Amino acid sequence: MSIQKIIQQATIDCLESLYGKSFTAKDFQINKTKPEFTGDYTIVLFSLLKPLSKSPDALGKELGEALLKSQPEFVSSYNLIKGFLNLVVSDNYWNSILLSKNNDHCFGTGAKKERRVMIEYSSPNTNKPLHLGHLRNNFLGWSIAEIFKANGYDIVKSCIVNDRGIHICKSMIAWKLFANGATPQSTGTKGDHFVGDYYVKFNDAYKAEVERLVHEGCSKEVAEKEAPIMKATQQMLLNWEAGDPETLALWKTMNEWVYEGFNVTYKRIGSDFDKTYYESNTYLLGKEIVHKGLDKQIFFRKEDGSVWIDLTEDGLDEKIVQRKDGTSVYITQDIGLALQKYEEYQMDQSIYVIGDEQNYHMNVLQLICKKLNLPNANGIYHLSYGMVELPTGKMKSREGTVVDADDLLDEMERVAQQKTEELGKVNDFQPEELKELYKTLSSGALKFYLLRVDPKKKMIFNPEESIDFHGYTGPFIQYTYARIQSILRKQSGILTGPVLSSATPLLKLEKELIMALEHYPVVVEQACQELDPSHLANYIYHIAKTYNSFYAEHSVMNAETEEKKQLRLLMCRFTANVIASGMKLMGIKVPERM
C-alpha cells in the first residue's frame, strides 16, 4: 500500500474516532505538498468543515495530533496553513521502503484479478504496409495490454486483418495489369511494400483514365464510375465473392506476401497477438443476428428490402445493417465478431484501439449490441486515439505519401547511430553490440515519443525531436539507466552486507527521489484505470530527471560515510529497477551500457 493510501486510511480512522461519524476517501482530498511549504502530503480540510461544524484551525490541530499519536511510524510532524494540513512523513518510512523494495522486481504489479480483458489493435489492410499511424496504434494497444497484465488482469491480445473488399482488389487488378509476373522474391522487395506499390499504381492509372474520359467529354462523376480499371476492380470483387478459383488463388498469394512482410515488421517493433481474425472469415457474421433482431423489432426493413436500425432517440440517426441484396455491411460483421469473441473468450471487457475517425461507428456498435442484449455489450470500450501527422500534414496511402513503418524505423536507426557517435562513448563496442544498441535506442525513441502524448490528442511526429539524449525522450531515460548500471557494476560488492538502518537521516534530494520511486505502483494503476500509457511515460521521465538532479548534487562513490554510500547505491538500484519496469510496460528496452 502506498504512503498516500496509508495516510488516507489513517485520516478516515482518526476522523471516525474523533467525531463518531463515518467517512470515505471521497470526503476529503490528499495531495502532494506544494514545494513552497514544509511537508510531503497535504490533507485539504475545507470539505470537512461544514459537516463537522469546525473551524480550519481547530479541525487541523485535532486531526494533526491524532495522526501523530496513531501513526508515529509514518508521520513525524505536521503544520497547518489556512485549511491545509501538511504532514511530514518520517525518514524511517522512506528508508524502510528503500530497504524492502530496492531490488523487488515485482514492485508495481497488482494482485491477480479474476477478470479477462481482450484488447484489439493494429487492424491493418492487406493492400499496403504498416505505416506511422499503425505504429501509434500498435504501441498503444500493446502497452495497454502489458499495463493491464501488471495490474493482475488476464489479457487476450487480438487483431482483425482487413483482407477483403474493393480496396484489396485494387492492388490485385494493378498487379495483373502492370506486374508482368513480378513477385517480391523476383524484385527483392518486402512483400507488404511490393503489394502496396501496386495500390499506388492503381490510383495513378485510375486518375489518368478519369482525366482522359473527362477530356473526351464525360463529367467527372461519370468518368469515375466508367473508368475501365475501376469497372475491372468491381468485377474482380464480384468474382471473389462468387468463389472464382483464379481470383481466390491470386488473392491468397498476394495476401501471403503481405503477411510475410507484416510479420517481419511486427517482430521488429515487438508487437504480438494471441488471436488474429480475418475479415474474409468474419464478413458474413452477424446476418443471423440481424434476422433475430428483425423478429424482435429492434431492426426494421425498408421498402427496397434493406434492413436498418433507428437510433435517433439515442442521439444518432438511422443505420443500415444489411443491404437490399442481403449482403453484410461493416457494422453487421462487427456485431457478429463481438459475439464470436465473447463466445471464444468470455471476457469481461473488450477494448478496441481504433482511431477517433471511427467514434461514430463504435458508438453505433455498442448501442446495437446493448439493444440486442448481447453478452458483454456493456464491456465494449473504444480507446479512441488521435491521428499522427507529419510536420508537412496528413498522410495519404493511395497517393503514396504515407510514411511506411519500415522506412521510418530505418531512418530512426540512422539518426540513433549519428547521435550516439556524436557522444563518442562507444569506441569499445563490437559491431554487433553497436547494431543492437542503435536498434534499442531508435525503437525506444519512437515508442516513447508516440506514447508520451495523451492518446485522445492528435500529434505531430518529428523524428529529429524524438532522439535527444538530453530532452524529453526515450534515449534520455535509456542513457540514465545505463549510467546507473555503470555505477552498480563498479560498486556491486557493497550491497551484499547491509549496514543501512531505517533511522538513517535523508537529505532533501535523497528523500525526493525515494518519494517519487515509492509512487510507481500508483502510476501503473492510474495508467490502467485511464487506459493511458502517457501517465507512465511522464512518470518515468520524471524519475530520470529526479535521479539526475540527485546525482549532480551528491556523490555515490565518494559519499560522506559508508552508510551514505550504501544508501545511495540502494537508491541507484531502486531507480534502475523502476525505470526498467516502467519502460518494459511501454515495450522499450533499456541498454546495460551506452
Tens digit of pLDDT for each residue in 512-560?
A: 999 999 999 999 999 999 999 999 999 999 999 999 999 999 999 899 9
Q: How confident is the model at residue 397 (pLDDT cuts 50, 70, 90)?
A: very low
Give the E-state strand segments of 370-510 in sequence order.
380-385, 388-389, 459-460
Residue listed under C-alpha cell 480540510: 45
The cell numbers describing 53, all together, are: 461544524
CA 564 to chain centre: 39
Does the pLDDT at position 499 exceed 60?
Answer: no
Does the pLDDT at position 594 exceed 90?
Answer: no
Mean pLDDT to the nearest integer, 368-392: 92
Q: How confident is the model at residue 399 (pLDDT cuts 50, 70, 90)?
A: very low
Residue listed under C-alpha cell 491493418: 124
The cell numbers describing 124, all together, are: 491493418
Does the pLDDT at position 395 exceed 50?
Answer: no
Residue listed under C-alpha cell 460483421: 333
Residue listed under C-alpha cell 492528435: 458
Q: How confident is the model at residue 182 (pLDDT cuts 50, 70, 90)?
A: very high
Residue-level pLDDT at 326 = 83
Does the pLDDT at position 280 exceed 70?
Answer: yes
Contact 367, 316 (CB under 8 A): yes
Residue-level pLDDT at 403 = 83
Question: Residue 122 and residue 272: Cα distance in Å, rounded?
Answer: 10
Mean pLDDT to the nearest integer, 562-577: 93
Q: Which domains are seen in the chain, by residue range?
A: 3-89 (3.30.1360.70), 165-277 (no CATH), 408-585 (1.10.730.10)
Point out the least confidently predicted range of 115-129, 309-323, 433-447, 501-515.
501-515
Question: Residue 167 and residue 165: Cα distance in Å, rounded?
Answer: 6
Highest mean pLDDT among 168-177, 405-414, 562-571: 168-177
Mean pLDDT to the nearest integer, 580-592: 97
Mean pLDDT to the nearest integer, 579-583: 98
First to last CA, the chain: 35
Does the pLDDT at position 66 exceed 80?
Answer: yes
Beta strand 84-89 pairing with 300-301? unpaired
DSSP structural state of residue 403:
-
Mean pLDDT to the nearest integer, 146-175: 97
State the burial class of residue 459 (Cβ atoms within 10 Å of its Cβ: 0-12, 13-18, 19+): middle
Residue-level pLDDT at 495 = 61
What percentage of the chain carries pLDDT values higher than 90? 84
H helix intervals, 216-317: 220-226, 228-241, 245-269, 279-282, 287-295
Residue-level pLDDT at 570 = 93
Give 120's contacts (C-beta < 8 A, 6+ positions apart). 141, 158, 159, 160, 350, 351, 352, 353
Residue-level pLDDT at 498 = 53
Question: Residue 369 and residue 225: Cα distance in Å, rounded?
Answer: 36
Residue-level pLDDT at 401 = 56
Q: How many CA atoms lie within 13 A of 260 on its CB side?
A: 15
pLDDT in tens, 201-224: 999 999 999 999 999 999 999 999
Contact 381, 352 (CB under 8 A): yes
Laid out side by side, the sheet with 41-44 consists of 29-32, 41-44, 84-89, 75-81
Can you say whether residue 122 is alpha, beta or left, with left for phi > 0 and alpha for psi between -120 and 50 degrees? Answer: left
Question: Residue 328 and residue 286: Cα distance in Å, rounded?
Answer: 8
Does the pLDDT at position 339 exceed 90?
Answer: yes
Q: How confident is the model at residue 452 (pLDDT cuts 50, 70, 90)?
A: very high
Does the pLDDT at position 24 exceed 80?
Answer: yes
At 131, is the secondary structure helix, strand, or coil?
Answer: strand
Q: Please, which residues bridge with residue 78 across strands? A: 87
Residue-level pLDDT at 501 = 66
Mean pLDDT to the nearest integer, 42-57: 95
Mean pLDDT to the nearest integer, 465-479: 91
Residue-level pLDDT at 502 = 65
DSSP structural state of residue 68:
H
CA 43 to chain centre: 33
Q: Please, which residues bridge with residue 307 across strands? A: 301, 322
The cell numbers describing 516, all together, are: 517519487
What is the pTM (predicted TM-score) of this model? 0.92
The cell numbers describing 135, all together, are: 505504429
Angle at 248 between CA 245 and CA 252, to 5 degrees: 135
Q: What is the dihedral of CA 289, 295, 299, 303, to 10 degrees?
A: 120
The cell numbers describing 171, all together, are: 492492388
Beta strand 388-389 pairing with 380-385? unpaired
Does the pLDDT at position 89 exceed 60?
Answer: yes
Residue-level pLDDT at 427 = 81
